[in-house]
Homo-oligomer: A and B are copies of this chain.
Amino acid sequence: MSTEKKLYAYVRQEIVPLGQAHLHVSDLAIQRGYGVFDYFRISEGRPLFLEEYLARFYESARLMHLPLPLSDEALKAAIYKLVGLNALAVSGMKMILTGGYSDSGYDIVAPNLLLLQQPVTMPVQALQERGLKLITHEYVREFPEVKTINYAMGIRLLQKIREQGADDVLYHHKGIVSELPRCNFFLVRQDGTVVTPAHGMLQGVTRKHVLELATKRYPAVEATVTLDDIRQASEAFLTSTTKRILPVVQVDDMVIGAGKPGAVTRQLLEDLVRFEESHHQNQVPGE
């Protein structure tokens, strides 16, 4: 898939070439960082788990007092129209809802909706084999249950992550682990139990699927996860819509298990890929 392909975007009730997708500077995202978003994958014209992503998007919008400018039906129609026009084999769709063009530069007005579809690159196999190294940082997102556009902390930490030769950062509060900037976190205890933090993190769609899949094979729980739990863990991994599952082999100076991706992580990735494929095959195109 060439990224040179001419793509279209949906901006404020219009479909325009992506190159011409602009917002006026009075938009509250630009003025005040005020907006929510969500992101789902599309495979051969079929959005994966669309209902789940839309439900979360609507919940984020509601919690931030941002009324959607479109009905559920009209939003889906816009999504499918864009997907048809762009005709990408494998892609991701970002839905952004901002506070709108605000005269006062502070008050929410009529929210602006954007739909941006782009080719997506799934993690390379080499990363699956190597596993990731994380640093930690004490931080809880302001509205952990909301997918806001605020990634100031994660982006500001990119320099530190690079300096430490790490791949990403894991947030914790007084040693209680929550999530990464764009991923959920899991570990496998010595006794084989799969655990993911219960509080302070985004309700990841992939997190939910992986937890369900894990339950079929292992003891699996949502629970408090501490940095010390990581030190004791036999495996760790992250989940996200674009990354699916990626092994974590080191957190700060703590080498996890054997310092290599583990068998449970590999098994769950296999299960997740199969689950996605079966969902995809059972789905009626355009449904």
Contact = CB atoms under 8 A, between A and B. Distances in A.
Contact of A155 (B34, B96, B139, B153): B34
A9 B33 CA distance: 20
Interface in A67-114: 94, 96, 98-99, 105-108, 114
Given A22-B23, A23-B22, A155 B30 contact: no
Contact of A21 (B25, B34, B105): B25
A158 interface: yes
Given A21-B24, A29-B29, A159-B65, A143 B149 contact: no
Q: What is the copy number of this chain in the assembly?
A: 2
Most B Cβ at <10 Å: residue of A108, A151, A159: A151
B30 A11 contact: no
Contacts of A261: none
Nearest to A155: B34
Interface of A: 9, 11, 19, 21-25, 27-35, 64-65, 94, 96, 98-99, 105-108, 114, 116, 139, 142-143, 148-156, 158-159, 182
Top-7 shortest CB links A-B = A33-B33, A22-B22, A32-B151, A33-B150, A33-B149, A21-B25, A29-B30
27 contacts: A9-B25, A21-B24, A21-B25, A22-B23, A23-B23, A29-B29, A30-B35, A30-B98, A31-B94, A31-B96, A31-B149, A32-B152, A33-B34, A33-B148, A34-B151, A34-B155, A65-B156, A65-B158, A99-B155, A106-B151, A106-B154, A107-B155, A139-B142, A142-B142, A142-B153, A148-B152, A150-B150
